């Protein structure tokens, strides 16, 4: 079955089965898309992309220069938080005092053709970084699988792609210009303000506002990505080989099914061409089918049989082109996400236990998981500090309450000594986070207190996770 015909068959099956739904078979959401309505005469609400975080800032400011950022930090009363594209699921942004939008701090500030470094303004969105760097013959070494966040926000939360030979985006930062809470402007690197640099490469925005970021890049390059439908256990049994064989590799297990989607990405070869088309809404068809059989006594087995029938023997989807066009994928289906990074050797056992728990407890979720490997680094609060990691993500649709599902899965991550992604949903506090970062937790907070003794950058969420 070709990619196009399989897609049409999946759509038709989903539509047909949706018509058979019985009343009450589909749970109704208690999660509104807009969590807070606007009230005339009151501050305009800020809401994140996922719709699970909001605030009512008294001031919403959009500085267009570093001097304006410095003035804002000097003069602001109460808590100051910076915001980029609002793609964090955790509470790193909300404040009812001063919210600083970085949209106007965007673009290429400078570049060096010899060192392949480029300095970009912190508010630059990742989807703009690619073309900007391509114009000077450069490209990011690695990227996440979506390009909506701002560069500064990506660095602050150690956003990452996949590939054991590659670190998170924070690992490729060569310099940061930081506007501190007191209104100073500091240039930080491995040789200048090195302690602050070690803290600022994964700071959750707790040290100030990163106005410019200098990235260590490589010459522009082309990639080819191949997506396949395979059996999850076959992939896990062959995982080390796959990770070594490909420049980048990840897989997305389908809950309540033996199948997964594999994504293998390598340097493009002459003659590589596209085949099929990535469909960002296919997960909605999975949802229709899953919900349609949910009333059946053995619904998980029926769902798995349907996927085997629909997806078994499926061909590959291939995308090829400039790296910045191949790495990211379109995100049009709203969701909420929890991600933990466990020690690399624990990854297979952890993901197996998550999938088994979902089956055994009949957790009604069909949104795919995501499994990636990331190399170790020496960044104080990076999820990959001191050890390579297996990053495992669980997702729930944005119009469905995620809390019971995540509460069932999160303790599995704890069992395997997982570190939560700073930009995604988790429930850990300072007492439980500190042991996960035993080498540099105190170092980070010494730097943080030296720069921000009054806690101007600490909102409720940061106070909770930092114990401040």
At 10 the pLDDT is 54
What string of DSSP letters covers 140-188? -S---S---SBHHHHHHTT----BTT---GGGGEEEEEEE-TTS-EEEE
At 313 the pLDDT is 62
pTM of the model: 0.93
Half-sphere exposure of 43 (CA within 13 A, CB side): 16
Which residue's entry shows tokens 């960002």?
280
Which parts of the chain register pLDDT below 50?
1-6, 9, 19-28
Q: How buried is 358 (Cβ within 10 angstroms: 0-12 exposed, 13-18 middle, 19+ buried)?
A: buried
Q: In angstroms, how far is CA 146 from the centroid of its own chain?
A: 8
At 7 the pLDDT is 52
> Which residues have a Cβ under 8 Å from the Cβ of 301 and sit 6 or more positions away?
none
Helix (H) or strand (E) holding 397: strand 389-397
> Which residues have a Cβ under 8 Å from the Cβ of 7 and sit 6 or more positions away?
279, 282
Residue 335 CA: distances (Å) to CA of 32, 36, 293 = 12, 18, 22
Strand ranges inside 274-388, DSSP E: 317-322, 335-343, 370-374
In order of their start, the domains of the chain are 3-17+221-420 (3.40.462.10), 46-101 (no CATH), 108-220 (3.30.465.10)
At 26 the pLDDT is 46
At 9 the pLDDT is 46
At 280 the pLDDT is 79
Helix (H) or strand (E) holding 265: strand 259-267
């Amino acid at each position: 079955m070709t990619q196009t015909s399989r897609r049409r068959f999946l759509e038709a099956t989903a539509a047909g089965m949706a018509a058979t739904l019985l009343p009450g078979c589909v749970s109704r959401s208690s999660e509104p898309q807009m969590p807070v309505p606007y009230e005339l005469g009151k501050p305009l609400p800020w809401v994140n992309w996922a719709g699970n975080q909001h605030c009512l800032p008294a001031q919403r400011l959009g500085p267009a220069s570093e001097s304006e950022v410095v003035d804002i930090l000097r003069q602001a009363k109460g808590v100051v938080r910076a915001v980029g594209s609002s793609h964090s699921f955790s509470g790193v942004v909300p404040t009812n005092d001063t919210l600083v939008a970085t949209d106007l701090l965007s673009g290429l500030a400078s570049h060096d053709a010899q060192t392949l470094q480029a300095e970009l303004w912190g508010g630059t969105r990742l989807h703009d970084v690619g073309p900007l760097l391509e114009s000077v013959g450069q490209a990011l070494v690695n990227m996440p699988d979506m390009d909506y966040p701002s560069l500064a926000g990506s660095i602050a939360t150690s956003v990452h792609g996949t590939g054991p030979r590659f670190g998170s985006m924070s690992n490729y930062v060569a310099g940061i210009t930081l506007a501190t809470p007191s209104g100073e402007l500091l240039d930080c690197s491995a040789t200048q303000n090195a302690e602050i640099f070690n803290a600022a490469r994964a700071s959750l925005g707790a040290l100030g506002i990163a106005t410019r970021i200098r990235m260590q890049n490589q010459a522009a390059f082309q990639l080819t990505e191949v997506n396949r439908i395979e059996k999850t256990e076959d992939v896990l049994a062959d995982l080390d080989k796959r990770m070594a064989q490909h420049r980048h590799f990840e897989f997305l297990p389908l809950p309540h099914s033996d199948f997964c989607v594999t994504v293998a990405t390598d340097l493009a070869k002459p003659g590589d061409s596209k085949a099929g088309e990535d469909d960002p809404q296919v997960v909605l068809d999975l949802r229709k089918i899953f919900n349609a059989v949910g009333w059946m006594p053995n619904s998980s087995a029926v769902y798995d049989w349907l996927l085997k029938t629909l997806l078994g023997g499926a061909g590959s989807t291939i995308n090829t082109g400039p790296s910045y066009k191949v790495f990211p994928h379109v995100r049009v289906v709203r969701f909420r996400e929890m991600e933990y990074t466990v020690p690399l050797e624990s990854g297979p056992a952890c993901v197996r236990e998550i999938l088994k728990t979902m089956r055994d407890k009949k957790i009604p979720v069909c949104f795919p998981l995501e499994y990636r490997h990331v190399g170790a680094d020496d960044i104080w609060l990076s999820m990959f500090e001191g050890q390579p990691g297996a990053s495992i993500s669980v997702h729930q649709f944005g119009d469905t309450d995620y809390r019971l599902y995540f509460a069932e899965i999160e303790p599995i991550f704890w069992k395997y000594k997982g570190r939560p992604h700073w930009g995604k949903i988790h429930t850990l506090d300072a007492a439980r986070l500190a042991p996960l970062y035993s080498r540099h937790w105190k170092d980070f907070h010494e730097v943080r207190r030296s720069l921000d003794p009054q806690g101007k950058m600490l909102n409720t969420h940061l106070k909770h996770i930092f114990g401040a």
